């Protein structure tokens, strides 16, 4: 029997030792993959299911649903500001910072706590047992009278943090507006390019029919027909590619608006009669304006103030702290000897003498964070100036490209008309006509894209200067060089 008990004890010890080294199971399943390179299988029921789609985030708001086939840029921006997950996340972070600021202000108030205890005891005396029942409620108060700017520094740091987070929220709103504008213009450009390519396909079909008629009449060779067929096939292939780009950019616009990529909506056909021009202000002026107006730049400056407040908090730890305390209570007991009131008032002072140089290092670290914040602001200042210069040059380039595209399209149209007339008169070749029409198709494509590229560049410059409006406004003063509309 003793041998059996000894064996059971050994087996139990081995089992316990194995359990001590094995990680605990999750819902009865191993908490880690069985070996490197093998997938871990999540136990059933441990991963929450994907919530049902919220109609607010998969479809347009009710006020826009009635005209979902003709949304304007302002409509798209409004939807994005309400439904883009980035805005909700940044707003929640701003609310969190505001509540933390409110919590920090609580250090200016005393702390009052109430406690109560009830007990039953029995003790032995020379005469027998003594049983005692006691109930003791107490109220205590603690108030920090003086801490050499520790409280004010904590509150100041929380306050500056709220301001910085709110400014970053404003910067995020401008980022969302820019995303929507860029996606909107990209989708518009893709539609214009697809329409231009469809026109090219129509012209190539007409060329093929003309070549076939001339071949039947004996005034053209089969090579003319084959060349026309080749150009038509290439045009149709390009049209399919452009049609795919239209669908992709539509999905990108939906995502920028905070909707599902397959959301059912359409934008109104915008007028491409844009007042093309360059920024009327110099790039130096725009840089100065960006440094003054951009919310992320302002947030960087506020972060320096927050770091300076944290230096005050760290320094306060090196000085004495004066605390006032008070408590009041009463003991209720079945033994009168243990019943009665009790109270105390204390005035305490805490003087730091030595803490392993912790406080000194805390102060040095806080001062270093001030330098970090200043360096980060300087780095952002450099980045902002570079962004303004880049977008300023991009706008000028886009403006010049619009004018060049207009000239190119006019020239290509005249060349195509001449080549078509010569071919119909029998004095030109099919190769001349196809070459001219290929150049015309390229000119149409560039003319269709350059205007929206210019609009995107203007939005980017407005964002980089910090003046992009909440509904997509681009209030950059322009010098209008030309007024161009569709040909």
Q: Are residues 191 and 224 in the same domain?
A: yes
Q: What is the pLDDT of residue 270?
A: 77
Q: What is the pLDDT of residue 14?
A: 59
Q: How many CB atoms lie within 10 A of CB 137?
A: 14
Cα–Cα distance, 465 to 294 (Å, whole number):
7
* DSSP per residue, 344-411: EEEEEEE----STTHHHHHHHHHHHHHHHHHHHHHHHHHHHHHHHHHHHHHHHHHHHHHHHHHHHHHH
Kindly list the averaged pLDDT for each block of 10 residues, start to end, along the chain of length 487.
66 59 81 89 85 62 82 92 91 96 93 93 78 90 93 95 96 96 94 91 88 82 86 92 95 93 88 81 95 95 96 93 93 84 93 90 95 97 97 95 91 89 80 85 87 94 93 86 42
Q: What is the pLDDT of residue 57?
A: 55
Q: What is the pLDDT of residue 17?
A: 56
247: enclosing H helix or E strand? helix 222-256
Q: What is the pLDDT of residue 485?
A: 39
Cα–Cα distance, 19 to 8 (Å, whole number):
16
Q: Are residues 297 and 405 in the same domain?
A: yes
Q: What is the pLDDT of residue 486?
A: 34
Q: For the chain, how many structural domains are there in total?
A: 2
**Which of 459, 465, 476, 466 lies closest to 170, judged by CA?**
466
Pairing of strands 111-125, 128-146: antiparallel
Does residue 47 lie within any of the structural domains? Answer: no
Does residue 464 lie within any of the structural domains? Answer: yes
Cα–Cα distance, 427 to 416 (Å, whole number):
14
Q: What is the pLDDT of residue 431?
A: 83
| Length of the chain (residues) | 487
Global pTM reads 0.84
Q: Are residues 122 and 214 in the same domain?
A: no
Q: What is the pLDDT of residue 206?
A: 86
Cα–Cα distance, 225 to 27 (Å, whole number):
73
**Which of 315, 306, 304 lies closest to 150, judged by CA?**
315
Does residue 32 lie within any of the structural domains? Answer: no
Q: Which domain holds residue 341?
A: 110-146+318-351
Across 114-128, b (16+ Cβ under 10 Å) vs e yields: eeeeeeeeeeeeeee
Q: Are residues 125 and 269 in the same domain?
A: no
Q: Are residues 115 and 169 in the same domain?
A: no
Q: Are residues 168 and 257 in the same domain?
A: yes
Q: What is the CATH number for 78?
A: 1.20.1600.10
Does residue 196 lie within any of the structural domains? Answer: yes
**Structural tokens at position 336:** 């009168």
Q: Are residues 271 and 306 in the same domain?
A: yes
Q: Are residues 366 and 415 in the same domain?
A: yes
- Could you tell me how far CA 201 lies from the centroid of its own chain? 41
């Amino acid at each position: 029997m003793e041998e059996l008990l000894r064996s059971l004890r050994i087996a139990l010890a081995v089992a316990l030792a194995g359990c001590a080294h094995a990680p605990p199971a999750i819902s009865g399943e191993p908490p880690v993959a069985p070996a490197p390179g093998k997938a871990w299988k999540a136990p059933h029921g441990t991963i929450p299911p994907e919530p049902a789609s919220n109609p607010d985030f998969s479809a347009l708001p009710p006020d826009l649903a009635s005209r979902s086939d003709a949304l304007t840029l302002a409509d798209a921006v409004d939807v994005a500001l309400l439904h883009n997950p980035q805005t909700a996340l940044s707003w929640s972070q701003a609310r969190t910072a505001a509540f933390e600021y409110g919590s920090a202000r609580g250090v200016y108030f005393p702390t009052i706590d109430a406690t109560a205890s009830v007990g039953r005891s029995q003790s032995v005396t020379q005469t027998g047992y003594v049983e005692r029942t006691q109930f003791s409620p107490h109220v205590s108060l603690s108030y920090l009278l003086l801490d050499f700017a520790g409280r004010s520094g904590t509150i100041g740091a929380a306050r500056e943090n709220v301001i910085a987070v709110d400014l970053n929220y404003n910067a995020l709103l401008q980022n969302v507006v820019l995303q929507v504008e860029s996606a909107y213009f990209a989708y518009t450009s893709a539609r214009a390019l697809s329409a231009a390519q469809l026109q090219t396909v129509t012209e190539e079909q007409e060329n093929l029919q003309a070549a076939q008629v001339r071949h039947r009449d004996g005034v053209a060779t089969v090579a003319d027909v084959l060349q026309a067929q080749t150009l038509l096939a290439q045009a149709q292939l390009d049209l399919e590619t452009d049609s795919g780009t239209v669908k992709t950019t539509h999905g990108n616009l939906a995502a920028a608006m905070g909707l599902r990529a397959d959301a059912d909506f359409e934008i109104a056909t915008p007028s491409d009669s844009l007042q093309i021009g360059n920024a009327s202000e110099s790039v130096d002026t725009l840089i100065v304006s960006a440094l003054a107006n951009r919310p992320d730049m302002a947030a960087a400056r506020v972060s320096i103030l927050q770091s300076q407040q944290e230096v005050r908090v760290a320094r306060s730890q090196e000085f004495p702290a004066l605390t006032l305390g008070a408590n009041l209570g009463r003991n209720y007991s079945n033994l009168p000897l243990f019943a009665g009131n009790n109270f105390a008032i204390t005035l305490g002072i805490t003087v730091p003498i030595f803490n392993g140089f912790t406080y000194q290092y805390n102060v040095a670290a806080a001062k270093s964070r001030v330098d970090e914040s200043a360096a980060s602001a300087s780095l952002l200042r450099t980045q902002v100036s570079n962004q303004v210069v880049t977008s300023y040059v991009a706008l000028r380039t886009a403006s010049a490209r619009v004018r060049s595209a207009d000239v190119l399209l006019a020239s290509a149209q005249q060349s195509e008309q001449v080549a078509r007339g010569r071919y119909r008169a029998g004095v030109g070749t099919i190769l001349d006509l196809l070459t001219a029409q290929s150049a015309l198709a390229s000119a149409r494509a560039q003319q269709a894209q350059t205007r929206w590229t210019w609009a995107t560049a203007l939005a980017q410059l407005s964002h980089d200067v910090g003046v992009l409006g909440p509904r997509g406004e681009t209030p950059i003063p322009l010098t209008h060089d030309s007024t161009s509309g569709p040909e």
